[in-house]
Structure 1
Amino acid sequence: MKPGTNVKQRDIILIPFPFSDLSTSKRRPAIIISNSYYNTRNDDVICCAITSNPRNCAGYVPITSADLDKGQLNYQSRIKPTKVFTLNKNLIIKPLARLNIEKSKEVIRNLNSSIYIEDVTLEE
């Protein structure tokens, strides 16, 4: 992406996503979950992966065109809140869409439910 291009939390972006053996990559969407404070102070953004695979897994957040404030996706998709990674902004190919606030909150809730600190008394 061109230097100086401003990306924001809730932006769905197109990125090169590597194959597991790192031999090559394919273009895939991801959503930026890091906030503006973080994004303006770092060369990286924090993202979650997006899949168009129809397999439903616990915690995945389904999204359709109705869930977007702007832009569009080619397929009905699912955000994978627990597939979190950092990405250098220079690797962003282009912005695709922006997720609405309601669905964005659902993504963060699902992420939080996977990483919250459990009460140790529950583990005994």
Structure 2
Amino acid sequence: MEYKQRDLVLVKFPFTDLTGFKVRPALIISNSSVNKSNDYLIMMITTQHIGGSFGIEFDNDDLTTPLKPPITKAYIYTKKLALLDKTIIHKKISTLKNLSKFQNIIEQHISSITLEVD
């Protein structure tokens, strides 16, 4: 199966210390120029509220297929990214249909990597 930007997928998301992984949902943020190599740049999704500016909330109204009950909302964790091979993706679970929400996610991530001059 081919996956696209804005797809929500179930993946083996690696821990930041690379000691293991957790199967969890993620948002594909890479575009087709990256995805055609069978690599996908993804952001972690969690149901836990994220404090600060790194979590962007979304709900079932933002998706093509709703989340499974009792979950009705979740958070994109914009600082938790991974580049994963297609074989690590278990399946597609939905698509983020809200384009302005996706734009906010990308802008939030970009703001976390802007150049800082000492």
Shorter-chain TM range is 0.7 to 0.9
Structure 2 counterpart of 1:81:
78
> Number of matched residues?
113
Task: List 4+ stretches of structure 1 deviating above 6 A.
Answer: none
Q: Calculate the TM-score normalised by the size of structure 1.
A: 0.81
SS in structure 2 at match of 1:53: coil
Structure 2 counterpart of 1:57:
52
Unmatched runs of 5 consecutive residues or more in structure 1: none
Unmatched runs of 5 consecutive residues or more in structure 2: none
Structure 2 counterpart of 1:115:
113
Whole-angstrom distance in 2 between the partners of 1:64 and 1:21: 30
In structure 2, what residue type is equivalent to 1:73?
Answer: L
In structure 2, what residue type is equivalent to 1:14?
Answer: L
Whole-angstrom distance in 2 between the partners of 1:113 and 1:21: 25
SS in structure 1 at match of 2:94: strand
Q: Calculate the TM-score normalised by the size of structure 2.
A: 0.85
Q: 2:100 aligns with which of 99, 102, 106?
A: 102
Q: 1:31 aligns with which of 27, 32, 40?
A: 27
Q: How does 1:13-24 map to 2 (within 5 A)?
A: 13-18=9-14, 22=19
C-alpha distance after superposition, 1:70-106 (max 9, x if no partner): 1122321100111111111111111011112111101
Structure 2 counterpart of 1:71:
65
Q: 1:92 aligns with which of 89, 103, 113?
A: 89
- Cα offset, 1:116, TM superposition: 1.5
Q: Greater helix percent: which structure?
A: 1
Cα distance, 1:55–1:39 mapped onto 2, change above 3 Å: closer
The share of aligned pairs that are identical, in percent, is: 34
In structure 1, what residue type is equivalent to 2:83?
Answer: T
